[in-house]
Structure 1
Amino acid sequence: MVASADSIVQKDPPNSTDTSADSASGSADSADLARFGYQPVLHRKLGRYASFAAGFSFVSILTTIFQFFGLGYSFGGAAFFWTWPIVFAGQFLVALNFAELAARYPLSGCIYQWSRHLAGELVGWFAGWMMIIAQIVTAAAAAIALQVVLPSIWSGFQLVGTDTALTSHDGAVNAVVLGSILLVLTTIINVVGIDWMARINSLGVTIEIVGVLAVIAVFFTHADRGPSVVTQTDQAAPGSYWAAFLVSGLMAAYVMVGFDSAGELSEETRNPRQVAPRTILTALTVSGIGGGLILLGALMAAPSLSDGSLSSGGLAYVIEAKLDSPAGKVVLACVACAITVCTLAIQTAGSRLMFSMARDGRLPFAERLAAVHPRFGTPVLPAVVIGALGIGLLVLNLGNAAIFATLASVCIVTLYLAYLLVTVPLLVRRIKGWPADDATTENGKPLFGLGRFGIPINALAVVWGIAMAVNLAWPRAEVYIPTGGGWWMQWAAPLFVLVTIAAGVLVHRIVTPSRTVPGTEAIIQPA
């Protein structure tokens, strides 16, 4: 059997006040990375909180709940609340598997690297390709969420027209303008260094957590009805309730992704084998609890469940109704901060994935994409490419009132498929006897593992991922062309997946190198 990367050992986490300990830990992390065939070129500066912040800001419950609460409520009524714990449970199954892989493969571009080490170069390449596309689209979708809050804070942020509604022409165009400005700013931050990104992201996450607590407190102290509201279905869309319920789950499915971002930044995290698994699970858990309380509180505090305001205005409508103007604007400012760091985290994760694939020669212009700025310690070109493509995607959708639902569907379907290209090969490898349950650090600390529960948890994660991908890609006219449109818009998600795969086949044929990819000698062979 080929030597396993699982046997690689790691020193204890550094003491933040001990310079020699920091140096020793950094040397151990560098040696760990070298065993996979890579030289340490990124700056390893992230601690536990910064790693948690990367995952939490990607999930960003304030960003996506504010953006899509109205969509969920308009289809499922108050009982759409139950899509939240269901999606959380399913995604937590996936996160458990990812945490186990993060402990064994602490590499940038984790989705690509995990899949490649489990199933070989071809499957790994397509997992990385699908994830890159998903992250570009997700960055664009997150950036346009500024339209949800900025015009409510100050009318001057409505740069185009007067109608601020997400589904209006003016609102859609203004969202593209604001989103493009944000992507320019996050690109600059990503270029100047991981330390600046970490500081801004951690500060933004702290503000977001304070904002989440403030929103929950406001809702629960200004409730107009009890928690039994979550059993009401009378405001659901006409027709079969279960069909409407499945559509309403789009909101929760869009929110609870990206928790793997701690793994994407493994090569910039101190002691990643111990830190990344914990922060992956913590980011999702905190998001799940906080988001569930926000949803429940909003339904309890909404002035009306039947006048249409909750569907059109979402959480902003509830906050403005329950708080006087200054306090409400402060909370909305917290949401704007959350949107900013969410976009920043997505772009950071995407740039590290692009860098990871490029250094293996797996992308066009690989040498340039894999270059790291000697002073900033960042892959500059990947950040610029993701920002530029995100802006281009927004411009292509200029004036499309269904842009929000369309972008959300496209990015999450592609992302769920990328996740499946990790969980399916992992299940196959588990059945063949992977991983070793006794993997430990050199100090005897065990790496995170699922033990005998690995196969059932992994199998459930695969079933969940397939079911969600199908549900999210289903071409529902009421979601993708609510005000009418071409058939191609209704079928946007499955068509986009097919185009992505076709383009991937072409690119893969062009860039497949003849040399051995670093790290393939460490791929674990079945016992």
Structure 2
Amino acid sequence: MNRSELTPGPRPAGDVTTSAVPVGYHQELRRGMGSFASFAAGFSFVSILTTVFQLFGLGFGLGGAAFFWTWPLVFAGQLLVALCFAELAARWPISGAIYQWSSRLAGTTVGWFTGWIMIIGQILTVAAAAIAAQAVLPGIWTGFQIIGGPHADPSVASPTGARNAVVLGCLLLVVTTVVNILGIRQMAAATSIGVTVEIVGVIALVLVLFFLPERGPQVVAHDTGAAGDGSYFGAFLASSLMAAYVMVGFDSAGELAEETHSPRRTTPRTILRALIVSGVGGALLILAGLLAASSLTDGNLAAGGLSWVLTDRLGGALGRLLLCCVAVAVFACTLAVQTSGARMIYSMAREGALPFHRHLGKVSARTGAPIITSVVVGVGAAIALLVNVRQSAIFTALSSLCIAMLYLAYLGVTLPLLVARFRRRDTGRLPDGVDETGRPLFSLGRWGIVVNTLAVLFQVGMTVNLLWPRTEIYDLTQGTWWLQWSALLFIGLSLAVGVGYFLARRLHRRIELRHVPHTHIEPIAEAVAEPA
């Protein structure tokens, strides 16, 4: 696909795209998402009910009650990243946002590898989200513990729990794949309902637990419940992985920009709104759990997390009812992550940047959705689960690995963006323009360089923290070296495969004198050359 093929086509009725730069694609995806559905896509990916329930025990077990403070620290860092993304979403509202933004800011090579890492990270994130079903469903009904029977240990860290998590996760992936195939309207409706249930559930949980306190809020000033006797600083950093895992995916609104009405106005706001609502709600949920837990030292909170708090303090009936809200959130989260991954693959494939791109870049004329990419993400996530069917470390290892890859992909956007800002040091601003209503695009103005610099520093530090070869995260056997170093090994292998494919394509194009498959050869020049 060359540049001449990417001139803007006829716009659908009601889709006004006044902007600073042309998007450059014919409208194939159907615009079926409003403002709330766009917010729901980002909020569902973050999904505090899913991920806080999934990882509360991990964070508390590593850092004790004081791990609460990792939440506002990670939230502040991710808010800086979200502000940068909001600027880019207003200027380039295109599916596969991370790949598209990186390509326009740093060129096709950096953009391709950023997109490649993002795809793998998203597929692994779908698998990690699907595992959350094991943290919830057996607590609702013991019949969901298929492996080992209702009396087996449902903990994901146990052999029976890990295998059952794979079974439940694969079943969930079948359902989310079907919904994605049906089309964006069905996906938007499902996530909107899921988010509504999740928000109601968070409010109900926080209120109920705050009315059942066993201790005061001063508990967060102590490391009660932390494992180990060494330096607390290392334990605190390890416990921050919980917050790091939860607060990602707010960029999903950008991934679905081509399917959103008035995306230049809507998407920046929904990116920020999804993260802010998640940050506030998650902080209250963690604090409520710490206050209401009947004990911080008997090991139940670290092993069972918030699920144990609910069933222990609220009894069977009410606890199970609230767990049903969590189950709905798990479904919406898995669906949103899968949708984002499918759009990323589609965005790269329609530029000929992936193997089998002619098939992966197709949009169904009946549903208006890229069906094949949805199936690929679902199957890829199921494979990631199945190859770990006997690995009890699947929960913590997958969680840290997939989020580390997302942080690397995010860095592939914010770092080139910072370089672009320094090149325009007189203002530090991106090219201006107007949104669909004629108002100025979202902009950080002269604060752009400061915010962007702090965002990059935070991302670098958190990526190192996520990839650090901790045995308590990557090697529960305490003696398998390749498990301990599995994150770095897997990322190295992923990059090696990417380099091999990328070089093969380059050589192939030179032999046949074919065009470059990407469209964004001079990203900054294109932006500057097209005034509003």
1:476 matched to 2:470? The reply is yes
Distance, in Å, in 2 between the alignment partners of 1:359 and 1:322 is 52
Q: Is the 8 A contact 1:33 1:107 kept in 2?
A: no
Distance, in Å, in 1 between the alignment partners of 2:59 and 2:39 is 27
Q: Which residue of 1 aligns with 2:67?
A: 80
Residue pairs, 1:170-209, within 5 angstroms: 170-209=160-199
1:25 matched to 2:19? The reply is no
Residue pairs, 1:277-426, within 5 angstroms: 277-426=268-417
Q: Which residue of 2 aligns with 1:230?
A: 220
Distance, in Å, in 2 between the alignment partners of 1:224 and 1:367 is 60
Distance, in Å, in 1 between the alignment partners of 2:370 and 2:387 is 27
Residue pairs, 1:105-144, within 5 angstroms: 105-144=92-131
Q: Is the 8 A contact 1:37 1:518 kept in 2?
A: no
* Identical-residue share of aligned pairs (%): 54
Q: Which residue of 1 aligns with 2:159?
A: 169
Q: Is the 8 A contact 2:432 2:440 kept in 1?
A: yes
How far 1:478 moved relative to its partner? 2.1
How far 1:277 moved relative to its partner? 0.3
Q: Which residue of 2 aligns with 1:93?
A: 80
SS at 2:524 equivalent:
coil
Distance, in Å, in 1 between the alignment partners of 2:518 and 2:155 is 50
**Closer, same or farther: CA 436–87 of 1 in aligned 2, 3 Å:** closer
SS at 1:524 equivalent:
helix
**Closer, same or farther: CA 234–204 of 1 in aligned 2, 3 Å:** closer
Amino acid at match of 2:441: L
Q: Is the 8 A contact 1:364 1:511 kept in 2?
A: no
1:446-498 alpha-carbon deviations (Å, 9 max, x no partner): 10010000001000000000000000100011222234352111111111111
Amino acid at match of 1:182: L
Task: Give structure 2 stretches of 5+ with no counterpart.
Answer: 1-7
How far 1:23 moved relative to its partner? 6.3
Q: Is the 8 A contact 1:57 1:205 kept in 2?
A: yes
Distance, in Å, in 1 between the alignment partners of 2:378 and 2:314 is 36
Among 234, 238, 252, the alignment partner of 1:247 is: 238
Distance, in Å, in 1 between the alignment partners of 2:13 and 2:287 is 47
| Aligned Cα root-mean-square deviation (Å) | 1.8
Among 461, 466, 474, the alignment partner of 1:467 is: 461
How far 1:324 moved relative to its partner? 2.6
Q: Which residue of 1 aligns with 2:493?
A: 499
1:149-192 alpha-carbon deviations (Å, 9 max, x no partner): 10010011000011111110000000000000011111111111
1:223-259 alpha-carbon deviations (Å, 9 max, x no partner): 1111101011132222100000000001000000000
**Closer, same or farther: CA 439–305 of 1 in aligned 2, 3 Å:** same
Q: Is the 8 A contact 1:259 1:281 kept in 2?
A: yes
1:50 matched to 2:37? The reply is yes
Amino acid at match of 1:98: F
Q: Which residue of 2 aligns with 1:524?
A: 524
Q: Which residue of 1 aligns with 2:4?
A: none
Distance, in Å, in 2 between the alignment partners of 1:375 and 1:435 is 42
Distance, in Å, in 2 between the alignment partners of 1:398 and 1:351 is 24
How far 1:506 moved relative to its partner? 1.3
How far 1:290 moved relative to its partner? 0.2
Distance, in Å, in 2 between the alignment partners of 1:364 and 1:40 is 23
How far 1:507 moved relative to its partner? 1.9
Q: Which residue of 2 aligns with 1:18?
A: none
Among 480, 486, 502, the alignment partner of 2:480 is: 486
Distance, in Å, in 2 between the alignment partners of 1:46 and 1:107 is 14
Q: Is the 8 A contact 2:237 2:465 kept in 1?
A: yes
Q: Which residue of 2 aligns with 1:16?
A: none
How far 1:349 moved relative to its partner? 0.3
Q: Which residue of 2 aligns with 1:211?
A: 201
Distance, in Å, in 1 between the alignment partners of 2:518 and 2:124 is 29
Amino acid at match of 2:503: R
1:291-326 alpha-carbon deviations (Å, 9 max, x no partner): 000000100110001111110010011111221321
SS at 1:468 equivalent:
helix
Distance, in Å, in 2 between the alignment partners of 1:369 and 1:455 is 37
How far 1:441 moved relative to its partner? 3.4
SS at 2:99 equivalent:
helix
Amino acid at match of 1:61: I
1:369-395 alpha-carbon deviations (Å, 9 max, x no partner): 001110000101111011111111101
SS at 2:270 equivalent:
helix
Distance, in Å, in 2 between the alignment partners of 1:75 and 1:199 is 38
Distance, in Å, in 2 between the alignment partners of 1:102 and 1:435 is 14
Q: Is the 8 A contact 1:95 1:259 kept in 2?
A: yes
Distance, in Å, in 2 between the alignment partners of 1:39 and 1:118 is 22
Amino acid at match of 1:473: L
Distance, in Å, in 1 between the alignment partners of 2:72 and 2:349 is 38
Q: Which residue of 1 aligns with 2:515?
A: 515
Q: Which residue of 2 aligns with 1:150?
A: 137
Distance, in Å, in 1 between the alignment partners of 2:485 and 2:14 is 50
The two structures have a TM-score, normalised by structure 1, of 0.93
Among 250, 254, 260, the alignment partner of 1:263 is: 254
Distance, in Å, in 2 between the alignment partners of 1:236 and 1:324 is 27
What is the aligned residue count? 505
**Closer, same or farther: CA 479–123 of 1 in aligned 2, 3 Å:** same
Distance, in Å, in 2 between the alignment partners of 1:343 and 1:332 is 17
Amino acid at match of 1:297: A
1:451 matched to 2:445? The reply is yes
Distance, in Å, in 1 between the alignment partners of 2:505 and 2:257 is 25
Distance, in Å, in 1 between the alignment partners of 2:144 and 2:28 is 40
Q: Is the 8 A contact 2:50 2:333 kept in 1?
A: yes
Distance, in Å, in 2 between the alignment partners of 1:117 and 1:420 is 14
How far 1:33 moved relative to its partner? 12
Q: Is the 8 A contact 2:117 2:409 kept in 1?
A: yes
Distance, in Å, in 2 between the alignment partners of 1:371 and 1:100 is 29
Q: Is the 8 A contact 2:66 2:224 kept in 1?
A: no
